[in-house]
């Protein structure tokens, strides 16, 4: 039987690392095949070899049963291999149709034939159920639609083998569902798909078979129907995964965060937080569930002093922190794991050590009489690197060169180490692999056990349900209900998030 893609005994070395060590990947015709592994396991390297961006040191490639040499992406395209990149390669100012035909423009008398281009795009999008408007500019369309444009680009070039590089990392839950439908449609039209991912859920929803790689080595290839999530997860990480559950008794203490009558405007001067009330107690994790854009970001920014409060009060440990400077609020006991870790959580060009003292650099013991105590900072950083299992050559390494999971660990280490009364965790595990997620969940639960208050904001309902002691549902800038995670499920939360109160009444 011939495979759509067969990569045999691939080996690729980089200075100091073996990225791929004797990896074999066999993708059957017409299947969705998951390439599953932690960040840094060698998935991208393998796919870059398939796409002609790297040359393997050893090993052979077969496409549809024929031996192939792929020297550059043009070769890959000729062989019908298309890549949907994680970071889109689109020109914002161009229309959808212009982006799709770029590089292979249909011509009439030597001139660009835009009418024909639009027609081709429309045909392709109908055939595969990829809903796009060819005339819209890329900068004006949603991320999900941009991804569909990327898929259309590969289809337009005649690809019948599509590589999806972590396609769901940038999508909302609804867009993910749509993408899975699209992938299944593509397969039913005779395409083969390789899905690079580290998310279990997607594999079980979308894929037929799965190849697990770990630290550059092949672990196993199996049918999805013959495995289960926990086995697969242990296979990826190489040890048993303990799913972190909130099993410590719920014993709420005094109110740490108290929000009353809060009104906040967004950057367009629209009232996005409307008369919101909320309190978080010591010793509890309060999860905020909600569809993106219902005021979560603005709420956190208002608490952290990064956004002006129009009306209402915010109290931290009984102290009024409404419209105070961020530093004052931090000193009053706020810890904050921001949503965008690279932009807001870290100075990427600082070393790990420097990032560890981003809020405390001016205080003892890190600074004394106007001079930085670099030795103390180094020591602290080394201690936290050890404690939080941050994988790095040294504390002198720039934050930029760490993997996403390790970057997040640096932030969590810094925030937890300051021992804040209130810890806000915004999308703390987005884009991370299972090992790192498990670790960070454990740290949040530890904070609860220490009697601190944790405010968890996440779009991942699983995460909210797993970790929270109480779940507050935010809808259009208001907390419309607070539910007990033990007495609710995804369906009820989903309805609440869509604005329906219990009993079916529209809120």
Partner 1 sequence: MNRLLKKVDWINLLIPVVSVVLGLLCGAIIMLIIGYNPLLAYQSIVESIFLQPYYGGETIRAMIPLVLAGLAVAFAFRTGLFNIGVEGQLMAGWLASVACAIIFGHLPKVVLLPLSILAGGAAGALWGYIPGLLKAKFKVHEVISTIMMNYIALYSTAYIIKNFLYTEGERTPTIPHAASLASPFLANLTQGSRLHWGFIVAIIAVLAMWFILWKTPKGYELRAVGFSPDASKYAGMNVSRNIILSLTISGVFAGLGGAMEGLGTYQYMTINSAFTGIGFNGIAVALLGLNTPVGVLLSGALFAGLQTGGLTMQSVAGVPVELIQIIIALIIFFVGSGYVIKWALGRLSRKGHK
Contact footprint for partner 1 (CB under 8 A): 15-17, 304-306, 325-330, 336, 338, 343-350, 354, 358-359, 361-362, 366-367, 370-372, 374, 393-394, 397, 401
Q: How far is the CB of 363 from partner 1 (least distance, A)?
A: 8
| Between 141 and 300, CB nearer to partner 1 | 300
| Between 218 and 359, CB nearer to partner 1 | 359
DSSP symbols for 198-262:
--HHHHHHH-SEEEEEETTEEEEEEEGGG--HHHHHHHHHTS--------S-----SEEEEEEEE
Beta bridge partners of 336: 424
Q: At what angle do helices 143-156 and 114-128 cross, to 10 degrees?
A: 110
d(CA 273, CA 261): 9
| Between 109 and 343, CB nearer to partner 1 | 343
Peptide bond into 205 cis (omega under 30): no
DSSP letter at 226 equals: G
Q: At what angle do helices 404-417 and 434-449 cross, to 10 degrees?
A: 10
For residue 57, the number of C-alpha atoms closer than 13 Å in the C-beta half-sphere is 13
Question: Do 4 and 63 form a contact (C-beta atoms < 8 A)?
Answer: yes
Q: How far is the CB of 326 from partner 1 (least distance, A)?
A: 4
Rg (CA), the chain: 25
| Between 239 and 327, CB nearer to partner 1 | 327
Of 386, 434, 383, 388, give the one whose Cα is nearest residue 410.
388
d(CA 66, CA 489): 50
Question: Do 156 and 124 form a contact (C-beta atoms < 8 A)?
Answer: yes
Q: How far is the CB of 422 from partner 1 (least distance, A)?
A: 15
Cα 270 to the center of its chain, rounded Å? 28
DSSP letter at 501 equals: P
Q: How far is the CB of 62 from partner 1 (least distance, A)?
A: 29
Q: How far is the CB of 438 from partner 1 (least distance, A)?
A: 25
d(CA 399, CA 411): 10
| Between 40 and 82, CB nearer to partner 1 | 40
DSSP letter at 345 equals: I
Q: How far is the CB of 139 from partner 1 (least distance, A)?
A: 21
Q: How far is the CB of 360 from partner 1 (least distance, A)?
A: 9
DSSP symbols for 134-157:
TTSBGGGS-HHHHHHHHHHHHHHT
Question: Do 38 and 214 form a contact (C-beta atoms < 8 A)?
Answer: yes
Q: How far is the CB of 308 from partner 1 (least distance, A)?
A: 14
Q: Which residue has the tokens 């035909």?
A: 101
Q: How far is the CB of 255 from partner 1 (least distance, A)?
A: 23
Q: How far is the CB of 175 from partner 1 (least distance, A)?
A: 26
| Between 197 and 408, CB nearer to partner 1 | 408
| Between 428 and 485, CB nearer to partner 1 | 428
Q: How far is the CB of 322 from partner 1 (least distance, A)?
A: 16
Query: Parallel, antiparallel, or unpaired for β 453-457 and 284-289?
Result: parallel
| Between 415 and 433, CB nearer to partner 1 | 415
| Between 269 and 343, CB nearer to partner 1 | 343
Q: How far is the CB of 137 from partner 1 (least distance, A)?
A: 27
| Between 339 and 463, CB nearer to partner 1 | 339
* Alpha-helical segments (H) within 308-460: 326-331, 352-356, 374-387, 404-417, 434-449
User: What is the SS3 assignment for 337?
Assistant: strand
d(CA 289, CA 491): 13
| Between 240 and 343, CB nearer to partner 1 | 343
d(CA 484, CA 292): 21
| Between 261 and 328, CB nearer to partner 1 | 328
């Amino acid at each position: 039987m011939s495979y759509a893609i067969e990569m045999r005994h691939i080996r690729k070395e980089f200075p100091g690392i073996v990225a791929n060590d004797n990896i074999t990947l066999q993708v059957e015709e017409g299947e969705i095949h998951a390439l599953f592994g932690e960040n840094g396991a060698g998935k991208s390297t393998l796919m870059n070899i398939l796409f002609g961006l790297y040359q393997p040191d050893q090993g052979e490639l077969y496409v549809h049963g024929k031996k192939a040499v792929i020297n550059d992406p043009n070769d890959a395209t000729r062989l019908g291999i298309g890549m949907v990149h994680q970071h889109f390669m689109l020109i914002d100012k161009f229309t959808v149709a212009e982006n799709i035909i770029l590089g292979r423009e249909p011509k009439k008398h030597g001139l660009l034939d835009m009418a024909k281009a639009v027609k081709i795009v429309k045909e392709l999008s109908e055939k595969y159920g990829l809903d796009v408007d060819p005339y819209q500019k890329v900068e004006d369309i949603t991320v999900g639609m941009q991804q569909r444009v990327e898929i259309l680009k590969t289809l337009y070039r005649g690809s019948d083998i599509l590589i999806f590089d972590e396609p769901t990392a940038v999508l909302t839950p609804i867009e993910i569902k749509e993408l899975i439908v699209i992938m299944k449609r593509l397969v039913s039209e005779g395409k083969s798909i390789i899905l690079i991912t580290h998310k279990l859920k997607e594999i079980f929803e979308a894929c037929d078979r799965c190849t697990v790689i770990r630290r550059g080595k092949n672990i196993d290839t199996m049918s999805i129907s013959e495995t289960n999530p926990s086995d697969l997860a242990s296979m990826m990480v190489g040890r048993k995964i303990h799913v972190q559950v909130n099993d410590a008794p719920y014993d709420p203490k005094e109110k740490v965060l108290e929000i009353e009558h809060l009104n906040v405007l967004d950057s367009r001067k629209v009232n996005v937080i409307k008369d919101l009330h909320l309190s978080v107690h010591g010793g509890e994790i309060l999860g905020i569930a909600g569809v993106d854009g219902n005021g979560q970001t603005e709420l956190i920014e208002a608490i952290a002093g990064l956004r002006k409060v129009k009306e209402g009060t915010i109290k931290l440990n009984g102290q009024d922190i409404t419209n105070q400077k961020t530093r004052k609020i931090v000193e009053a006991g706020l810890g904050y794991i921001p949503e965008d870790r690279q932009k807001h959580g870290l100075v990427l060009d600082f070393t790990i050590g420097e990032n560890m003292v981003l809020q405390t650099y001016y205080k003892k013991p890190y600074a004394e009489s106007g001079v930085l105590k670099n030795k103390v900072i180094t020591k602290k950083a080394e201690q936290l690197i050890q404690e939080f299992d941050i994988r790095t050559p040294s504390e002198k390494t720039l934050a930029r060169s760490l993997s996403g999971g390790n970057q997040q660990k640096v932030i969590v280490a810094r925030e937890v180490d300051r021992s804040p009364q209130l810890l806000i965790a915004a999308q703390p595990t987005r884009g991370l692999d299972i090992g790192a997620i498990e670790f960070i969940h454990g740290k949040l639960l530890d904070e609860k056990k220490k009697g601190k208050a944790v405010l968890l904001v996440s779009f991942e309902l699983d995460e909210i349900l797993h970790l929270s002691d109480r779940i507050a549902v935010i809808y259009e800038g208001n907390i419309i209900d607070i539910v007990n995670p033990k007495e609710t499920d995804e369906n009820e939360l989903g309805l609440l998030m869509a604005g329906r109160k219990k009993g079916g009444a529209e809120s």
